[in-house]
Chains A and B, each alone.
Chain A
Amino acid sequence: MSEPLDQHSEENVEYRVAHLRDRLAAEELGELGVRAEVRAGAVVVTGTVPSAQCRETVLRTVREELDGLAVHTDVVVAENATPDHAEELP
């Protein structure tokens, strides 16, 4: 059974992650596609964003909101290449 302090700490991380998601949606990005989850004591932030500038904004927001926490990020920029083949739908 966890100590009460640990429980509070755990809840605190959950709420901080929730606030991060709220902020990403509410601010300049309107970003709902970035996922932030608590895994093994760290916060994992993943997703695809429309531009390099959006990625920088997401990462800055993550640093501000989750300051002091272990954070792993894998946020990539959408690819704009032309497809090299089509799918045949007989």
Chain B
Amino acid sequence: MIRVAAVGDIHMGPESQGLLRPAFDTLPECADLLLLAGDLTRHGTPEEARVVAQEVRGLAVPVVAVLGNHDHHDEQPEKVAALLEDAGVRVLEGEGTVVECGDTRVGVAGTKGFGGGFVGRSAGEFGEPLMKEFVRYSRRCADGLRTALEELDRQGCATRVALTHFSPVADTLAGEPPEIYPFLGTYLLAEAIDTAGADLSVHGHAHAGTEHGMTAGGVRVRNVAQPVIRRAFNVYHLNVD
């Protein structure tokens, strides 16, 4: 069994240093790895990223993260990622990483993802250049997720987890106004997950959404936005065949 801890949308700022660390220090007792599902900061500034880095530095379990839209706001996502990497966090964008949990290889594939909406109510790659780029960007994120999951399969991972910030399904957005669903996720992520295969999909972003959902292909989806799970993190036990 693999124990996956996950949380997103912790939105740390200068005054929140230390709020999560006491709970994170208990991770070795209950989890094999910690996933951070983006929106770790409020504006994506280096100062905020240093708060997050300090909060997870030296944890006794591996930490794997994707960035969220907030982490891009200051337009220095590479700097945010570098500060987190310096604290030992593996930050993914269109790539995967293998975490050794005892004898089991756990693969985590990650992308921030983007919006666009869900089948029948989604944006199309048509018209103005900005509109086409919106959809193409989403597609590039989804393609990166798919290729990363496929690569993890080739590397013999017994368990694979898809980590995103935006949602792959509408299920976990229930509670949010339906009008804003296209800004909360895209079916392209779910299609990538179902095409490549995964054992679990974890995302954040939808603060007013719900925890549980499933892709059309039957992959379980969990919205771990901190306002949704109302904990420092949630833990999922995945059985390994």
A interface residues, Cβ below 8 angstroms from B: 29-33, 35, 47-51, 53-54, 78-83, 85-90
List the B side residues contacting A33 at CB < 8 Å. 9, 207-208, 227
**With an 8 A cutoff between CB atoms, is B155 at the interface?**
no
Considering the complex, give the chain B residue whose CB is closest to the CB of A33.
B207
User: Which stretch from B11-19, B58-66, B82-90 is at the chain A interface?
Assistant: B11-19
Q: Nearest-CB distance from B47 to chain A (Å)?
A: 12
**With an 8 A cutoff between CB atoms, is B236 at the interface?**
yes
* Residues B234 and A83 in contact, CB atoms below 8 Å apart: yes
**12 A-B contacts, Cβ less than 8 Å apart?**
A35-B208, A50-B16, A53-B15, A79-B232, A80-B232, A83-B231, A83-B234, A87-B234, A87-B235, A89-B220, A89-B236, A89-B239
* Residues A81 and B3 in contact, CB atoms below 8 Å apart: no
Residue of B20, B207, B222 near A47 (CB, 8 A) is B207
Main secondary structure of the interface of A (DSSP, over half): loop
Considering the complex, give the chain A residue whose CB is closest to the CB of B42.
A30
Residue of B227, B238, B239 near A78 (CB, 8 A) is B227
B interface residues, Cβ below 8 angstroms from A: 3, 9-13, 15-16, 19-20, 22-23, 26, 30, 42-43, 70, 73, 199-200, 207-208, 220, 222, 226-227, 229-239
Residue of B26, B232, B237, B239 near A86 (CB, 8 A) is B237
* Residues A48 and B207 in contact, CB atoms below 8 Å apart: yes
Q: Nearest-CB distance from B180 to chain A (Å)?
A: 10
Report how far A78 CA is from B15 CA in the complex, Å. Answer: 14
* Residues B226 and A48 in contact, CB atoms below 8 Å apart: yes
* Residues A86 and B12 in contact, CB atoms below 8 Å apart: no
List the B side residues contacting A87 at CB < 8 Å. 222, 234-237
Q: Nearest-CB distance from B71 to chain A (Å)?
A: 10
Question: Given contacts A30-B42, A30-B73, A89-B200, are A83 and B12 in contact (CB under 8 A)?
Answer: no
Report how far A85 CA is from B207 CA in the complex, Å. Answer: 22
Question: Given contacts A50-B11, A51-B13, are A81 and B19 in contact (CB under 8 A)?
Answer: no
Question: Given contacts A30-B43, A87-B237, are A82 and B23 in contact (CB under 8 A)?
Answer: yes
Residue of A29, A35, A48, A50 near B12 (CB, 8 A) is A50
Q: Nearest-CB distance from A74 to chain B (Å)?
A: 12
